């Protein structure tokens, strides 16, 4: 026999129209008013004010150096492993210098790629918006 929680979940799925409810600790369901489109969007921005979106409809954030530095922190140990494997006779200081030089190239290059992709997506979104108006 299914538990009370499973029965409640099944009953909720069988409803014809999805209802917004809050469950109390006692198990009661309190219906809420249906939120508006703007409330469901979350940030309250209109579609024109938002940045570009991917295929899933998620907003693509603007490129930042903070995000690039996080990405670089992930890649730095991987670069060290690659340098270590490709030149095992090298001293640790020289390996670290090689990794630093590779990161000095990777960080601005990664930022520029992010900016490039973001601008392409912004142009594509503008074109689609203009095509929708016509």
pLDDT in tens, 74-97: 999 999 999 999 998 999 999 999
The reported pLDDT for the residue numbered 25 is 80
pLDDT in tens, 55-78: 777 888 899 999 999 999 999 999
Nearest to 18 by CA among 31, 27, 5: 31
- Break the chain into its structural domains and give their ranges: 1-34, 45-133
- Say what the pTM is: 0.59
Q: Best-predicted range by mean pLDDT among 12-16, 36-40, 46-50?
A: 12-16
Phi, psi of 68 (to 5 degrees): -65, -40
């Amino acid at each position: 026999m299914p538990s009370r929680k499973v029965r409640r979940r099944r009953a909720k799925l069988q409803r014809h129209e999805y209802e917004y409810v809050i469950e109390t600790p006692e198990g009661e369901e309190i219906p809420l008013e249906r939120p508006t489109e703007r409330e469901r969007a979350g940030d309250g921005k209109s579609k024109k004010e938002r940045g570009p979106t991917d295929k899933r409809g998620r907003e693509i954030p603007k490129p930042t150096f903070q995000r690039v530095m996080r990405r670089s922190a992930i890649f730095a140990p991987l670069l060290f492993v690659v340098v270590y494997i490709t030149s095992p006779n090298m001293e640790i200081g020289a390996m670290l210098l090689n990794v630093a030089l590779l990161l000095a190239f990777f960080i601005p290059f990664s930022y520029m790629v992010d900016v490039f992709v973001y601008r392409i997506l912004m142009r594509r979104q503008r074109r689609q918006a203009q095509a929708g108006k016509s």
